[in-house]
Each structure stands twice: as C-alpha cells, then as structure tokens.
Amino acid sequence: MTAITFYFQVHQPFRLRRYTFFDIGRNDRYFDDTENARIVRRVAQKCYLPMNALLLKLIDEHKGAFRCAFSITGSALDQFELWSPETLDSFRKLAGTGCVEFLAETEMHSLSFLRDWEEFDLQVREHQDRIEGLFGTKPTTFRNTELVCDNRVARRAEELGFSTILGEGADHLLGWRSPHFVYRPEGCERIKLLLRSYRFSDDIAFRFSNRAWGEWPLTAEKMAGWLSALPEEEVFVGLFMDYETFGEHQWADTGIFDFMRHLPGEILKNRRFRFLTPAQVSVEHDPVSRLDMAHPVSWADAERDLTAWLGNHMQRAAHDALYDMANTVREAAEAGHPEIHRAWRRLTTSDHVYYMCTKWFTDGDVHKYFSPYASPHDAFIAYMNVLDDLSRRASAVVGVARRNAEAC
C-alpha cells in the first residue's frame, strides 16, 4: 500500500513596529502588537478555524481513516494564547481524535543551527515540551525551520532523540531517485528521512488558483488520478505545505475548501491508498538507502537553498549581528532580565531576514506578498535599529551585574 501523508506548517511571526533610529535608547516596544493581533485573528477566521473544523469532520466521516500532521511554531502558539484562544482550542480538539500528529521544531522558527547549536537545542527541547503539554503527546518527528535539512541537522535531531525528520525532495538532492521512499541521512544510524513531494504539494499550495496553469482547475478527482498513476512500489507521498494555503493564500472563493473536503474520499476509493502520519510511515518502512545532504536544502523558492534568508549582504549582516549578542543576552537574563532574552528570541524568527530578500526573479512575487515592508532595505533598517537598542540594554544590565559581583 501507498501512504498519503499530509503535513501542515502553522506559523505567525511577531512583526516589528516601524522602529527608527530616534527610538534607540528611548523605546523598548519593538513589536507591533496591534498589527500582530489583527493578522492572527484574520487568518484564524479565514484559515485556522474553518480548516480545523473541516479536518475534524473528515476524520469523523472517514472513521479515523483520514490522518494528518501539524507543526505549530512557538510564536504562533504565543499569539493564539494572546489573541485567538479559540484557535488553540480547535487544535486541541484535533489532537483529541488520535488521528493527528504534532511535530517539533525550533520554538521561534529560527535558523539557529547555522550559528548556535546551544540555542538550537534549547529551542527544540522547549518546543517539544510545549507541544506535549498542550496536546498530550511528546513529538517524535522533527521538522526544522522552512524544512531546512542537511547531514548536520539530521544528526543533531537524532541525538535529541527524534526517530523521524522531514526534508524537501529537491531534484538536485535526489537526482534519479524518487521522493516517495524513506531514506536515512548520511552519518545517522537510527533517524529516518521523509521527503516532500514538491510537485504534488505545490499543485495545491501555489498553483491551485492559477488560471494560466495548464492543469487548472485542479479537482479532487484529478489529484486522486495523478496519485493512482504513481508506481505501486512507492511507499508514501509527502504532501507538505503551509496551513495558511487554505483560505489565506488560496482564498475560499477559489474552491480550495471544497477541494480538500472531497480529496480524502476520492483518494480512498483506491484501496491501494491510506492516510498515515509521518511517525506511522517511519515505523512501517525501513530506509531504501542513505541520502547525502552535504549542503542545506530548504523548501523555499526555485533554488531550494538558504538564499531566501541569507542571500545578500544585508541578511548576512543582520543574522551575524543577532547571534553575536547571544551570550550577552543570556547573561542579562541570568541577571534578572528575562524580557531581554524573550525579545531576542522573537528576533531569531527567520521571517525577519526573509523580509530583507532581494530576489525579484522567479520568486519575487512570493517575497513581496509575505513582507510587511515597502522594501528589503526598510526591513533591514528597522531590524538593525531594534538589535542596536536591545544590545545596549543587554550590555548595560550585564555591566551592572558584573560590577555588583566584583563589589561582593
């Protein structure tokens, strides 16, 4: 049999205020709570609440034969708790069905693995504990920020006790191989790698409402037919996408909810198929071979690399400045100012450097859609101003603490 594995990413960053040079040293209100509350409530009404209700109905109608998985970032959970508690309750209802797996990732959707393994470990463990506390099960599947995976990340996830990791089935990674098998990352002994089938996933997430697409309109029957045409020896199909696809990126009037309402039933008409979560696929299937991921592979843009976040000088300068102050921020927290560390953590969210992207070619419209700034340069200036102020605050606190310690 072939498993269909739906995995949905749920994320909302804490967006910054228009923080200017003149705010430095005078204002420590970095985040635009009014705008963040407005956006999370809007997306909840358009996506999270109706889609969660639909999934709950599908699980009930198919008597548990429909299953799926989620990863919900800590920054999204924070915003649900603050401004949309009904959304969090709806995810708890899904958890209660026993048909939904919740994955672990970095708490603040960070790229910490590139600069600070200590921070990476802390964020992953905190997120894992938080998911267990909210939904009752400790995650055994790991998904790194933006599906970024390489040999190092996979080994670290294995060391942290995960049995499964998700990745992108990029052509340059796989070559002639299919993404529809289970693999083992090079250098790992236990963890199993499940890859995203980007063609099928992007048909839903990006091309669904594109009337210029040769396959428009995409129907549940058509998608089920494509899946049925796959070689029978392929063991699973990873349909991984942003949850905001439903109702936010693809509006309700495109028919996206109707498509999803009918898709499980159409797929299950073929007894070859069943729905499994990533952990279930991992338990049932052994790796067919090792896969060497020498360089990070992501699910972003045509390149499937890190250039969406670190592709220009502004992004790299901002990322370096952020992690250069990590030890000072931690010391400030130990000195009795956890709010400094909490603000810094929110600044590790990868969206902040994503807004600085200057790739205006094949994926330019995507970057412009997600950014709240008029230009990448505006995003850079606002972010660096906030880092400047936070660095000064952290250094001042640490300086006082050190002087007090010397006086004793």
Burial classification of residue 278, based on how many CB atoms lie within 10 Å of its CB (0-12 exposed, 13-18 middle, 19 or more buried): buried
CA–CA separation, 209 vs 66, rounded Å? Answer: 25
Catalytic residue among 101, 107, 119, 146: 146
Q: Report yes or no: 69 and 104 within 8 Å, Cβ to Cβ.
A: no
Residue 146 known to be catalytic:
yes
CA angle 190, 115, 130 (to 5 degrees): 60
Continuous segment of H or E residues that includes residue 185: strand 184-185
| Residue in the block written with tokens 């063609």 | 199
Tokens of 359: 């790739």
Tokens of 91: 């995810």
CA atoms within 13 A on the CB side of 138: 8
Alpha-carbon torsion 192, 241, 128, 352, what sign?
Answer: positive
Q: Report yes or no: 125 and 90 within 8 Å, Cβ to Cβ.
A: no
First to last CA, the chain: 70
Alpha-carbon torsion 250, 135, 163, 305, what sign?
Answer: positive
133 Cβ contact list (under 8 Å, min separation 6): none
Tokens of 131: 């998911």
Q: Report yes or no: 13 and 109 within 8 Å, Cβ to Cβ.
A: yes
Q: Report yes or no: 334 and 381 within 8 Å, Cβ to Cβ.
A: no
Q: Would you call 345 helix, strand, or coil by DSSP?
A: helix
Q: What are phi and psi of 376, to 5 degrees?
A: -60, -35
Q: Report yes or no: 251 and 50 within 8 Å, Cβ to Cβ.
A: no
Q: List active site positions.
A: 146
